[in-house]
Each structure stands twice: as structure tokens, then as C-alpha cells.
């Protein structure tokens, strides 16, 4: 079973303080099945370079872009064009939202999905423009944990191992050590 295209939008990135947590957010996005990663707040070319290097080594590179006006981006995605000329779905992760295990089965699976993750202060319009506000528990915690649990629940029946085929490095699951195939050695 495959699913729709998934994009993650990170709001309010602060270049001096957030590179590590935002990088982890993007790594979780890629590892758990997202195709695209959008960054709002401060631009961060170095962080994009780090993330590109992961895609080059392990496959399934994320499409990444900086978004100057995140509210306009969400509005366009949900009301006009999610990148293919038709409107898509947006789900905002917030501790104030609906319970995720009940909400996720109600999300449409026939349109691209934008998962919106907050930063320090989330503007009220984000709650309004996203069709879904979803809580991973109703307590404050981490955007990285919230995204991981959301994508795991969303992708329960979706096999994402295929998407990593073609990477230079392939990790072979092992119970007693690191087993890594370097496909450049095949050449
Ligand atoms: N104080 C901020 C605000 O004004 O909303 C929230 C800061 S929180 C560390 C950063 C982001 O983590 C949130 O915007 C949200 O996307 C995510 N997050 C934290 N706890 C969450 C939860 N229980 N459920 C869903 N998302 C959560």
C-alpha cells in the first residue's frame, strides 16, 4: 500500500538556537516517509546542506525549500494548490488538538498531506488554516517526538523500505553489529 505525498512545514526556525532540533525533525520526516521539508523562520543554507548529504548517502533525499510566508503557504496548500494544481490537506500538530489515534484515520488519503509543526509561538491563523489540529497527547513535549508518533501512526500499513533503495549506503538489520553495504564498491 502506498500513500499520498507528505510534506512537513517547520514554523519559526531560529538559526542560532534551533539547527539541531530542526535537523532532527527533518531526519525524522525523511526516515518515516515524508517526501518534502519546508522551513519557515530563519533561512538556513548550512542545515539544508547537512540534510542533502544524508539523502545522497542513504537515498530518498527530501525535497527542501525555504518558505518566507508560512501562513500564505498553508492557505495556498489547503485552498488552491498543494503542488499539483489541486488543494491538499494540512494537519497542525499541537497539544491543544484532537487525539491523534482518533483523528488520523479521518484524514483524507487521496490528497497530498502537509504536516505543520510549530516553533516558539504559533500564530492563531495556523489553527484556522489547517483543516486538522492534532495532539500527540495533550501535554507539551517535543516537535520531534510529535512528528515521529504522527508519521508512525499515519504510515502503519505503508511499507517505506522501498523508497530508500538506490542510496549509496544500505544498512542491513543485524543483531550483533554494524552491517553496511557501500554500493559504490559494486562499481
Ligand atoms: N509554546 C509553543 C506554542 O506557542 O505553541 C509550543 C512549543 S513546542 C516545544 C513546539 C512544537 O512541538 C509545537 O508547536 C507542536 O507542533 C509540537 N508539540 C509539542 N507538544 C505537542 C503535543 N502534545 N502534541 C502535538 N504536537 C506537539
Name the closest-CA residue to atom 23, ligand 1.
95
178 alpha carbon – ligand 1 mean position (Å): 35
CATH code for the domain in which residue 111 is found: 3.40.1280.10
**Does 1 map to a domain?**
no
pLDDT at residue 187 in the model? 64
Query: pTM of the entire structure?
Result: 0.95
112-155 pLDDT per residue, tens: 999 999 988 899 999 999 999 999 999 999 999 999 999 999 99
Mutation test of ligand 1: which of 8, 95, 98 has the most ligand atoms closer than 8 Å to its C-beta?
95
C-alpha–C-alpha distance, residues 100 and 104, integer Å: 6
101 pLDDT exceeds 80?
yes
C-alpha–C-alpha distance, residues 49 and 47, integer Å: 5
What distances in angstroms separate CA 47 from CA 20, 52, 53, 70, 125, one per listed residue? Answer: 9, 9, 10, 19, 27
Mutation test of ligand 1: which of 146, 147, 150, 153 has the most ligand atoms closer than 8 Å to its C-beta?
146
Ligand 1 pocket at CB < 6 A: 93-95, 117-118, 120-122, 135-137, 139-141, 143, 146
34-66 pLDDT per residue, tens: 999 999 999 999 999 999 999 999 999 999 999
Number of domain units in the chain: 1
Domain that holds residue 127: 6-186
pLDDT at residue 12 in the model? 97
**Does 23 map to a domain?**
yes
pLDDT at residue 1 in the model? 54
C-alpha–C-alpha distance, residues 51 and 19, integer Å: 11
Amino acid at each position: 500500500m502506498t500513500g499520498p505525498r507528505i510534506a512537513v512545514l517547520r514554523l519559526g526556525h531560529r538559526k542560532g538556537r534551533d539547527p539541531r532540533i530542526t535537523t532532527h525533525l527533518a531526519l525524522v520526516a525523511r526516515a518515516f516517509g515524508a517526501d518534502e521539508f519546508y522551513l519557515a523562520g530563519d533561512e538556513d543554507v548550512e542545515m539544508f546542506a547537512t540534510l542533502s548529504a544524508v539523502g545522497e548517502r542513504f537515498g530518498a533525499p527530501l525535497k527542501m525549500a525555504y518558505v518566507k510566508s508560512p501562513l500564505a503557504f498553508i492557505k495556498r496548500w489547503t485552498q488552491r494548490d498543494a503542488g499539483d494544481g489541486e488543494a491538499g490537506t494540512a494537519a497542525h500538530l499541537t497539544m491543544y488538538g484532537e487525539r491523534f489515534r482518533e483523528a488520523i484515520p479521518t484524514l483524507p488519503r487521496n490528497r497530498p498531506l502537509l504536516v505543520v509543526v510549530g516553533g516558539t509561538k504559533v500564530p492563531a491563523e495556523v489553527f484556522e488554516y489547517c483543516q486538522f489540529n492534532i495532539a500527540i497527547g495533550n501535554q507539551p513535549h517535543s516537535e520531534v517526538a510529535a512528528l515521529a508518533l504522527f508519521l508512525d501512526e499515519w504510515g502503519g500499513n505503508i511499507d517505506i523500505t522501498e523508497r530508500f533503495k538506490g542510496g549509496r549506503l544500505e544498512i542491513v538489520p543485524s543483531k550483533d553489529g554494524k552491517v553496511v553495504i557501500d554500493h559504490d564498491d559494486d562499481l
